[in-house]
A and B are shown apart, each in its own frame.
Chain A
Amino acid sequence: MKTYITFAKYNFNNMLPTNCPSCQAQLKVKCLKCENCQTEVTGSYDLPLLALLPEIDQQFILRFVINSGSLKEMSSELKLSYPTVRNMLNDIITKIKTDEK
């Protein structure tokens, strides 16, 4: 059974796409632009590891850092039990380890 949580404070509407909409392969960063002087840097850069995670996991990590890495504070904020929050964190750790490989 899945637990549905919402993070109301952060808007992640314009998420960085990480996978190709056509073939689902992982995307690379081709171009970066300076908004100040319009300089453009072109290349082939890997996406940061955290950007590869689903939106909900990124929100979880953000809240976890803001709560000083306290699972107890996370559980009271999310109104979920301590082991549930710990399991969510363990799932994210597993995903990161898989992505690292």
Chain B
Amino acid sequence: MKSKEFFELIFNPFTRIAGWQAFWLGLVFLILSGVIGGFGNVIFDGVIDSHLVKEETMLQSFGYLGISMLTLVLVMWIAGLIISKGFRFIDILGTMTLSKAPFILLAIVGFFTKMPDTNEIMKNPMVILSSTSFLLMMILSVPVLVWSITLMYNALKISCGTKGSKLTTAFIIAILGSEAISKLLIYFVL
């Protein structure tokens, strides 16, 4: 596979896959992230958020994931309606669901990571350095976040067929808005 094709497959698979196909594939990653995250005490409490917690039930894990996913899709759909016309809801649903797939990496790393004691961190922040897996998760969260946001941007771009500053502005507002709304919903619902 040529590097250009590989780059496109990783950061913009939506030129090849969208709609229901992307939705089912994204749903598989989402369920796996929920299950692994549930066992590994990793919560995805926001559209572009994940944290390691001390204890978590499977219901909470899927609750956080469901709310953040639903918020992302609805906010991006509204953003799409504002900047474009004649696009399909299923394309937004499918591509946005698949955009969350990279978070499975954090769920996997989190599964093998033990949350350091908060009181100990407060006393001595250098305690973090003693946990290799916790450090790895912290470092990994940056590229995973960048990857996922790039996927979300390309998902909106392909689904709505919009380009330029209109797309970028709408995306920035939508991503920040959906993050804030999902946080509020999680706070009030769960």
Contacts and interface: CB of A to CB of B under 8 A. Distances in A.
B177 interface: no
Interface stretch (B13-21, B28-36, B53-61, B139-147): B13-21
Interface residues of A, number: 11
A69 to B, nearest CB: 15
Contacts of B41: none
Nearest to A91: B161
Nearest to B13: A81
Contact of A84 (B11, B14, B87, B88): B14
A88 to B, nearest CB: 9
A97 to B, nearest CB: 15
Interface in B146-161: 154, 158-159, 161
B156 to A, nearest CB: 11
A3 interface: yes
A82 B19 contact: yes
A82 B91 contact: yes
Contact of B16 (A79, A86, A87): A79
A70 interface: no
B120 interface: no
Interface in B82-96: 87-88, 91
Nearest to A89: B161
A90 B84 CA distance: 12
A87 B8 contact: no
A23 interface: no
A87 B161 contact: yes
Contacts of B22: 81
Contacts of A1: 8, 11-12, 15, 154
A87 B163 CA distance: 11
A3 B88 CA distance: 20
Interface of A: 1, 3, 79-84, 86-87, 90
18 contacts: A1-B11, A1-B154, A3-B8, A80-B15, A80-B16, A81-B14, A81-B15, A81-B18, A81-B19, A81-B158, A82-B18, A83-B14, A83-B19, A83-B91, A83-B159, A84-B16, A84-B158, A86-B161
